[in-house]
Structure 1
Amino acid sequence: MTNRLQPIYDIAALCSSRQLRHAVLCPGSRNAPLILAFSRHPDIHCLSISDERSAAFIALGISQQVDVPAVIVSTSGSAAFNFAPAVAEAYFAQIPLLVLTADRPTEWVGQQDGQTIHQQDIFGKHVKRSFQLPQEYDHADNYWAINRMVNEAISLTQQEPRGPVHINVPLREPLYPGNEKTEYSSSIRVMSEVSGSSGIDSNVAAKVFKKLSEAKSILLVSGQQTSGELRTTVFEVSRRFHIPLIGDALSNLHGADATIQHADLFLGAASPDVLRSLQPDLLITIGEGTLSKNLKLFLRSHKAAEHWHIQEAGNVADTFQSVTDVLRVSAGSFFRFLSEMTLPPLFDLNSQIAYEKRWTNEEQRTVQLLNSFFPQSELGEAEVVLNLLRGLPPSCNVHLANSMSVRYAAHAGLISSQPGVRVYSNRGTSGIDGCTSTAVGHALTSNVPNILITGDMAFFYDRNAFWHNYPLPNLHILLLNNHGGGIFKMIDGPGNIAELDEFLVTRQPLTAKKLCEEFGFEYSELDSRRKMSNAIKDLLEPSTKTKVLEFSSGIDTNKSILLSLKRLIKDSYEH
């Protein structure tokens, strides 16, 4: 081997051969061989992002957008630790990432050498696996081991459930090649994997057929999922069997008129008799986490006799405390089977139609009340979000920051004429720390508008999402600025403690105007309902620059509006 760093350079070549074509590189010295390996490879698109926390979330957004793992590379020490929030989000949201952290040689750990910490297994249980590469390359077996481990790591990122895999790379000086060229081996071993069949076997088919013959009230609930391919077959099954389908904005199942999007609003207000009438005898769940607290409470207190969760692999969360069967098949295979199977002769279609009607009646009642509720006398965040969602372009990505932004969008819902809208939100850990950076990752790799709805705490906390040299003309941001963490006045518990404003709400005086001047963004303010229609239209218009529309309002105003909406729905069940 003529070049001492050849095994490291060939990591980039192997990634390219395995179709990993995007890498986010964080500046440093210890990771210089990795930076050179990826940045000089002709088939890998590289970004240089200085803030490691932001860089990792940008990579996460890229992975979501292109549906292939992105690579993130850090130098040694605390730089690697700054990947942790995004790695945890990727783990729980099942987003593939290949995480490479440069390290000092192992003998220098704990010896007061600069930028040296314990990096082996640094992400603990928040990665699918962590690999430690050899630090010496003077034997052919080391090159073989590096190739084998990187192959395995890439495969693991994409095996169900998908997620992040960590490779720690100890590197000995010299780190720079001098006059040596960065070349890639002409023959690199690629260990490809072929997954087995995830179709329905005869035992599962018999069980499904039997239960469909017995059930009288089947309910389908979708948690967060972003698969556009699943939508058609889910809708077909829902229509064919008259199964009510509960899916808020994060389910990306808004293309069907019969989708129940407002369950959180009416389940928190409905009478005991209505709730009992909505109880399923068979519950089928797909997707990841469910946003609605009221839906969780309802299904925990009104348990189905049987609860099937459809998940191909991985640990199953028993969110509703009722799982009886885990069907280890892909959701696509399951719904294709249902769409093609012969309708069981004993299937009680009339009972199922009546059950579906009970759900759709509550949904329609809530939508009518929602439409009659706005406009209110004072313009609030909920109304602004509702109007933005109604005005979305036919094809776009919508990114929802955590806390109130995602909840406003869930309450508003999306309409059936917007099937080209894809909704994303970092609900794996539900943190605010990388919401903007994730949207930036999408914007850097997509050719559609990316609309971010965010609160002030999430926006300013993640301002380093913009600290790079890449234009983002397709990023449009609605900033809901109530100058604090408004959710802590919305939820039960914090509202009565003396320390609320200082230590929970965290009052802050910032606006986005100076930030937009600093980064060269287009900035506008929304300060009245009279301006709202034009302001939203202008925000969504194409531009050569990132756009920010800032709506400032009071936390107490928004709380009062939301409570009034919930009171209206509650009163509708009492009269």
Structure 2
Amino acid sequence: MQENEPQNVAFYGSTLFVRSLFEEGVQHVVISPGSRSTSLTLAFSAHSGFSKHIGIDERSAAFMALGMAKSSGMPTALVCTSGTALANYFPAVVEAAQSGTPLIILSADRPSHYRGLGSSQTIDQLKIFGNYPVFFHEAGEPDGNERSHKRLRLAAAQAVQEAVAKGGVAHINFPFSKPFEPDNKFLKHIEFENEKRSRKPSPKYAKEIGPVEMGETFWSDLISAEKPLIIVGPTTPADRLEFITPLARALDAPILAEPGSQVPTSRHTIQGFDGFMKNPGNSEMLKADLIMRFGQQPVSKAVNQYLDRYKEVMQISFMNSNNWIDGSLTSHKQVTLNAPLQIPEVTGAADKNWLKKWKKIEKEFKVFREENLHPSTPITDGYVFSKITEIQPKKAFTMLSNSFPVRDMSLFGEFDGKEIHVNRGAAGIDGIISTAIGLSVSTERPGTLMIGDIAFLHDTNGLLLAKEVNQPLVIVVLNNGGGTIFRILPVHKIKDKYNTYFETPQKAKIAALCRAHNIDHTLVSRPEQIIPTFDKLIERKGVHVMECITGADESMSQRQSLWNYKINKG
């Protein structure tokens, strides 16, 4: 049999594994070129059911895969060679684990007898990611045995089902000995066989769970609240929080939905809270008697300070079974949800003026914000956010970088009901461009990335993935010359150390970087250029960089003004 010939054994085992992945519903694979991974790479190349993407930098490739999985809720497969190639996945592994995003890592390795001998491109890859993966399997060297083939197929099923069910990373390590390349005729034979198998599968694990019904005591606590408040941090598809609006309606509660929460617009959602809740003098008017928390830990410092300030108020943290979320250590009760919450026919006892008060403050703050968001030169970060979110097409997604962009969206942007993605699992600035490209490829819709200059420079290798993008993707770079997020910290007052060690001013030529990657670049330095430039770029397919030169001092002054807003108590 052809599959048992020595040159075909590794490729055939890889083929059986890849077929099983497909049968479990995996559709995308990101491959980083390498020799030791040849058998896996050729197995994917021979299967037309997969969308194949090539990323030469493993760190960028992993974040691209993260972006794909973030939008679909299904794991993306990653293929790399042995050695440090695998280690470069680590930042994305941490983010995926912390944010509950499913990924499947398929790492080629040298056989065990090479380890510990100083052999080239050989490291200890067994459980290299420690406790972060939800599943690990050492495949062993291919041997052509039927039991080994069954184990490979089962390992694929385990990887997908564990990554989805537990919301995290599955890692399978494949030691390969030469030869890696199959006989060419056998490769063609497998391609022919795969064509008969490449119909879109129905995942075996797909099933509807729930809804979750809670008891009478639980609901009596909720409906007795006179000032209930719902706070929703960033979420993943596994969180299943479509019941948030019906819950708010039943309790007549305001919703503080952060960017990335995916909570739809309703009369209960409150905008601008990151501004008017910052001032401690405003808190007493907004003090709740019941706080219900969903999703990840809030990004907003104002919200986290509010949770800490009123830690004596009953706080219930609702979480999925894979992630314990209480970074503020203020929740009194924890409820695990594996499915949507069933809302019974109940009527809350909320004060009739409670929601009205929040809506009135929201309206007054928006007027105050508008008065402060005037066009100026240099442009402010906030002005860019206000204009971009105002004209962003409803069908388009937004990706927010960490540091100021994710915070500025809450402070300056209008994001009700819009699809917004964030990497808030570990909240690093690694791989932001690559994640946005993964989102673009997976959603097949226009998108916008809002990113600072330091985060942009941190992932310029992500620009190598631009060839994968077929829809418009506008990368709005807020270039204020350094890492100004540190200005909100006490270290900013240590002037003789701050500039060198924290803000790290940079003078990189972003336009030259774009030219080097054959990517369209437009420079914006005046406020009247923002809307026409963005309107033009969001209609053009491919990746476009819109570099906005903003003033760091002016932007901070504008933020401080909004943070110091005082609620009118009249």
Q: Which amino acid aligns with 1:115?
A: Q
Equivalent-residue separation in structure 1 for 2:489 and 2:562 (angstroms)? 15
- The verdict on how the C-alpha distance between 1:496 and 1:229 changes in structure 2, with shifts beyond 3 A counting, is closer
In structure 2, the partner of 1:297 is 305
Q: Which amino acid aligns with 2:255?
A: L
Equivalent-residue separation in structure 1 for 2:413 and 2:242 (angstroms)? 19
Paired residue for 2:346, among 309, 332, 343? 343
In structure 2, the partner of 1:433 is 430
Instruction: Please report how far the alpha carbon of residue 139 of structure 1 lies from its aligned counterpart in structure 2 after TM superposition.
Output: 3.3
Equivalent-residue separation in structure 2 for 1:232 and 1:92 (angstroms)? 22
Equivalent-residue separation in structure 2 for 1:548 and 1:113 (angstroms)? 43
Q: Does 1:199 align with 2:211?
A: yes
Q: Does 1:137 align with 2:143?
A: yes
Paired residue for 1:153, among 140, 159, 168? 159
Q: Which amino acid aligns with 1:171?
A: F
- The verdict on how the C-alpha distance between 1:306 and 1:229 changes in structure 2, with shifts beyond 3 A counting, is closer
The TM-score normalised by the length of structure 2 is: 0.91
SS at match of 1:428: coil
Q: Which amino acid aligns with 2:19?
A: A
- The verdict on how the C-alpha distance between 1:279 and 1:386 changes in structure 2, with shifts beyond 3 A counting, is same
In structure 1, the partner of 2:118 is 112
Equivalent-residue separation in structure 2 for 1:394 and 1:246 (angstroms)? 21
Instruction: Please report how far the alpha carbon of residue 433 of structure 1 lies from its aligned counterpart in structure 2 after TM superposition.
Output: 1.4
List per-residue Cα deviations over 1:501-528 (Å, max 9, x = no partner).
Answer: 2221122112321122223332221111
- The verdict on how the C-alpha distance between 1:525 and 1:64 changes in structure 2, with shifts beyond 3 A counting, is same
- Higher mean alpha-carbon deviation, 274-283 vs 382-391, is at 274-283
- Higher mean alpha-carbon deviation, 38-47 vs 546-555, is at 546-555
- The verdict on how the C-alpha distance between 1:25 and 1:408 changes in structure 2, with shifts beyond 3 A counting, is same
Paired residue for 1:318, among 326, 334, 337? 326
The TM-score normalised by the length of structure 1 is: 0.90
List per-residue Cα deviations over 1:111-137 (Å, max 9, x = no partner).
Answer: 111110010111112211221112242
- The verdict on how the C-alpha distance between 1:229 and 1:327 changes in structure 2, with shifts beyond 3 A counting, is closer
Q: Does 1:515 align with 2:513?
A: yes
Paired residues of 2:60 and 2:462 also in contact (CA < 8 A): yes
In structure 1, the partner of 2:176 is 171
In structure 1, the partner of 2:443 is 446
- Equivalent residue pairs, number: 555
Paired residue for 1:528, among 522, 526, 529? 526
- The verdict on how the C-alpha distance between 1:17 and 1:228 changes in structure 2, with shifts beyond 3 A counting, is closer
List per-residue Cα deviations over 1:456-512 (Å, max 9, x = no partner).
Answer: 111122111121443544111111111211212233323424222222112211232
- 5+ long unaligned stretches in structure 2: none
- The verdict on how the C-alpha distance between 1:292 and 1:488 changes in structure 2, with shifts beyond 3 A counting, is same
SS at match of 1:208: helix
In structure 2, the partner of 1:466 is 463
- The verdict on how the C-alpha distance between 1:413 and 1:528 changes in structure 2, with shifts beyond 3 A counting, is closer
- Higher mean alpha-carbon deviation, 73-82 vs 125-134, is at 125-134
- The verdict on how the C-alpha distance between 1:545 and 1:216 changes in structure 2, with shifts beyond 3 A counting, is closer
Equivalent-residue separation in structure 1 for 2:542 and 2:346 (angstroms)? 54
Instruction: Please report how far the alpha carbon of residue 229 of structure 1 lies from its aligned counterpart in structure 2 after TM superposition.
Output: 11
Q: Does 1:250 align with 2:293?
A: no
Paired residues of 1:296 and 1:319 also in contact (CA < 8 A): no
Instruction: Please report how far the alpha carbon of residue 310 of structure 1 lies from its aligned counterpart in structure 2 after TM superposition.
Output: 2.2
List per-residue Cα deviations over 1:431-456 (Å, max 9, x = no partner).
Answer: 11111000111122333211111111
Q: Which amino acid aligns with 1:430?
A: A
Paired residues of 2:317 and 2:331 also in contact (CA < 8 A): yes
Q: Does 1:385 align with 2:385?
A: yes
Q: Does 1:559 align with 2:556?
A: yes
SS at match of 1:361: helix
Paired residues of 2:259 and 2:422 also in contact (CA < 8 A): no
In structure 1, the partner of 2:336 is 328
Equivalent-residue separation in structure 1 for 2:233 and 2:39 (angstroms)? 42
Instruction: Please report how far the alpha carbon of residue 48 of structure 1 lies from its aligned counterpart in structure 2 after TM superposition.
Output: 1.3
Equivalent-residue separation in structure 1 for 2:371 and 2:147 (angstroms)? 71
Instruction: Please report how far the alpha carbon of residue 343 of structure 1 lies from its aligned counterpart in structure 2 after TM superposition.
Output: 2.0
Equivalent-residue separation in structure 1 for 2:118 and 2:440 (angstroms)? 41
Q: Which amino acid aligns with 1:107?
A: H
Equivalent-residue separation in structure 1 for 2:415 and 2:77 (angstroms)? 36
Instruction: Please report how far the alpha carbon of residue 376 of structure 1 lies from its aligned counterpart in structure 2 after TM superposition.
Output: 5.5
SS at match of 1:479: strand
Q: Which amino acid aligns with 1:409?
A: M
In structure 2, the partner of 1:222 is 232
Q: Does 1:261 align with 2:259?
A: no
Paired residues of 1:225 and 1:252 also in contact (CA < 8 A): yes
- Higher mean alpha-carbon deviation, 82-91 vs 283-292, is at 283-292
Paired residues of 1:270 and 1:573 also in contact (CA < 8 A): no
- Higher mean alpha-carbon deviation, 115-124 vs 305-314, is at 305-314
In structure 2, the partner of 1:89 is 95
SS at match of 2:461: helix
Equivalent-residue separation in structure 1 for 2:315 and 2:550 (angstroms)? 43
Q: Which amino acid aligns with 1:222?
A: V
RMSD of Structure 2 on Structure 1 (CA): 2.6
Equivalent-residue separation in structure 2 for 1:150 and 1:267 (angstroms)? 48
SS at match of 2:25: coil
Instruction: Please report how far the alpha carbon of residue 357 of structure 1 lies from its aligned counterpart in structure 2 after TM superposition.
Output: 2.9
Equivalent-residue separation in structure 1 for 2:238 and 2:57 (angstroms)? 32
Instruction: Please report how far the alpha carbon of residue 558 of structure 1 lies from its aligned counterpart in structure 2 after TM superposition.
Output: 2.0
Equivalent-residue separation in structure 2 for 1:530 and 1:325 (angstroms)? 50
List per-residue Cα deviations over 1:326-356 (Å, max 9, x = no partner).
Answer: 323246x21xx22xx2225xx424x2x2332
Pick 1 or 2: higher relative contact order, CA cutoff 8 A, min separation 6.
2
Paired residues of 1:134 and 1:146 also in contact (CA < 8 A): no
Instruction: Please report how far the alpha carbon of residue 195 of structure 1 lies from its aligned counterpart in structure 2 after TM superposition.
Output: 5.6
In structure 2, the partner of 1:209 is 219
In structure 1, the partner of 2:365 is 366
Equivalent-residue separation in structure 1 for 2:219 and 2:486 (angstroms)? 47
- 5+ long unaligned stretches in structure 1: none
Superposition pairs for residues 3-82 of structure 1, below 5 Å?
3-5=8-10, 6-82=12-88
Among all aligned residue pairs of Structure 1 and Structure 2, give the percentage whose two residues are the same amino acid.
25
Paired residues of 1:57 and 1:441 also in contact (CA < 8 A): yes
Instruction: Please report how far the alpha carbon of residue 241 of structure 1 lies from its aligned counterpart in structure 2 after TM superposition.
Output: 2.3
- The verdict on how the C-alpha distance between 1:75 and 1:451 changes in structure 2, with shifts beyond 3 A counting, is same
Paired residues of 1:226 and 1:423 also in contact (CA < 8 A): no
Instruction: Please report how far the alpha carbon of residue 59 of structure 1 lies from its aligned counterpart in structure 2 after TM superposition.
Output: 0.8
- Higher mean alpha-carbon deviation, 274-283 vs 435-444, is at 274-283
Equivalent-residue separation in structure 1 for 2:240 and 2:320 (angstroms)? 14
Paired residues of 2:84 and 2:121 also in contact (CA < 8 A): yes
Q: Which amino acid aligns with 1:234?
A: I
Equivalent-residue separation in structure 1 for 2:30 and 2:376 (angstroms)? 47
Equivalent-residue separation in structure 2 for 1:196 and 1:482 (angstroms)? 48
Instruction: Please report how far the alpha carbon of residue 209 of structure 1 lies from its aligned counterpart in structure 2 after TM superposition.
Output: 2.7
- The verdict on how the C-alpha distance between 1:191 and 1:461 changes in structure 2, with shifts beyond 3 A counting, is closer
Q: Does 1:491 align with 2:489?
A: yes
- The verdict on how the C-alpha distance between 1:146 and 1:255 changes in structure 2, with shifts beyond 3 A counting, is same
In structure 1, the partner of 2:354 is 355
Paired residues of 2:380 and 2:552 also in contact (CA < 8 A): no
